[in-house]
Amino acid sequence: MHPGPPFSPEQQALDETCRGIYRDMAALYAELEPALAGDGPAPGYAILFGPPRLRPPILFIGYQPGGPYGPMPDAASPSPWPPVSQYATCSWRLALRLQDIYGKELLARCTGTNALFVRARSSTHYKAYPSAARRRIEAFCIPACRRLIETMQPEKVVVLGLGSLGLLGKAGQVPIATGAKGRWLVCGGTIAGRPVTAVLHPTGAFGLSAEEWGEVKRHLAA
């Protein structure tokens, strides 16, 4: 299901770009899986959190998908992505917070991805993966994420977590709102030539106070 004509040349190009990213990520993950698993199960990966949307109202970008051990995409499928926006339909904490801000109807027309596609419980857990594996993950995922932005042409890009913006491009970062002790709550920046708004993660993983969350929420809703 797509927001515009399902077989427009632009939509076909977007879908094929996404299929290629899924295929290439599946091949990379198969190579890295033993190193990522260590003494336990491998973490898995996720790329999109809804179908590819041409010019969606918002493209959300996080650091890496949570988990680990989520379901694996079927890269051989013609539609390996979720059939609907998970931000509108799921009940994880982030999805619920976004539903509170934007409503399910708008979120159903949005999609999202991450700077890094391999699952981890947190950025700290991700950084515990072998450094050689992380270098290969970042060498693939960061350019792929930028390519998604360029091909989707979103009306607005919202980056969830200032660390995500740091991975994708530090050009033009300027504070928009600050909190306790001057820490940045909201900042502007540029990724793939597009202006973006980045916020401290809405789940409060970095100890947002109620007042700080109110400020973040106000900027997200603007």
Cα dihedral across residues 73, 75, 52, 148: positive or negative: positive
* Whether residue 207 has pLDDT greater than 80: no
- The gap from C-alpha 46 to its chain's centroid, in whole angstroms, comes to 9
pLDDT at 1: 47
* Whether residue 3 has pLDDT greater than 60: no
**Residue 71 pLDDT level (bands cut at 50, 70, 90):** confident
Q: What is the pLDDT of residues 147-194, one digit of tens each?
A: 999 999 999 999 998 888 888 876 668 889 999 888 899 999 889 888
**pTM for this one?**
0.92
Q: What is the pLDDT of residues 109-128, one digit of tens each?
A: 999 999 999 999 888 889 99
Residues whose CB is less than 8 angstroms from the CB of residue 201 and which lie 6 or more positions away in sequence, other chains included? 62, 63, 94, 160, 161
**Residue 210 pLDDT level (bands cut at 50, 70, 90):** confident
Name the one residue in this structure whose structure tokens are 């660390």: 163
Query: How many angstroms separate the CA atoms of 208 and 130, rounded?
Result: 30
- CA 141 to each of CA 5, 148, 159, 204, 215: distance values in angstroms, whole numbers, following the listed order: 29, 10, 15, 25, 31
* Whether residue 6 has pLDDT greater than 80: no
**Residue 81 pLDDT level (bands cut at 50, 70, 90):** very high
* Whether residue 99 has pLDDT greater than 90: yes
> For the structural domain made of 9-70+89-221, what CATH number should be given?
3.40.470
pLDDT at 205: 62
pLDDT at 50: 97
Q: What is the pLDDT of residues 22-70, one digit of tens each?
A: 999 999 999 999 999 987 888 999 999 999 999 999 999 999 998 767 7
Structure tokens at 193: 């030539």
Domain ranges of the chain: 9-70+89-221
* Whether residue 95 has pLDDT greater than 80: yes
